[in-house]
Amino acid sequence: MGKIISIYGLPAAGKTTQAELLFKKYGLYQFGMGDKLRAEINANTALGQKAKEMVSKGFLVPDEVIRGILQNVKKQAQETGIVFDGFPRMIPQAELLEEMLGEINLEVDLFILLRISSEEAARRISDRSESGGRADDKDPKVVNSRMEVFRKESLPLIDHYTKLGKFVEIDGEKSISEVFAEIENHL
């Protein structure tokens, strides 16, 4: 299908779940920014060392780290298309992505906001922290910072992609399959 899609939303909105479904059904390269950062941190690479503190506090990592993580993105965009999960998360990142894709004559096709309430996000994160091992899910202060980052950055991003005619909002509190069906309606 070769599209470039970005899935955005509060922590635990279902971004990775839907990105995985898009990978399975359409072969889009699944680019989870948070997953890639955690992999770098766990492997203690130079990029991981630069990202570690910000990720542990729930703040966005600097652009220089993001650029490093995005290294192979043009190749993946050309070969299979990409579903980004958790990227872009602020306007300079959206501009960086546009610049990179522009170099290969591509553009973001769809920016999808999975809308869930803060209460639902808090519930899901609490459930996930009991079953999973993400440190940034366990500390309420860090969870709060991540929600705050979303509140601060989301309006400009929504505005940006609305102006480009690429913005779609989907109710992320529906079931996984209902959300996926709605995403497919927009492809």
Catalytic residues: 15, 89, 128, 134, 146
Q: How far apart are CA 12 and CA 15, in angstroms?
A: 7
Q: How far apart are CA 7 and CA 10, in angstroms?
A: 10
Q: How far apart are CA 108 and CA 94, in angstroms?
A: 9
Instruction: Enter the tokens of residue 15.
Output: 């971004």
Residue 183 CB, nearest approach to ligand AMP (Å): 18
Give the residue with the Cβ less far from ligand AMP, 26 or 59: 59
Find where tokens 């091992």 sit: 133
Q: Which of 158, 163, 70, 73 is nearest to 111 (CA)?
A: 158
Residue 11 CB, nearest approach to ligand AMP (Å): 5
CB contact at 8 A, 167 and 158: yes
Residue 138 CB, nearest approach to ligand AMP (Å): 13
* Residue ranges that bind ligand AMP, judged by CB under 6 A: 11, 33-34, 37, 54-55, 58-61, 66, 86-87, 89, 93, 136, 146
Give the residue with the Cβ less far from ligand AMP, 131 or 185: 131
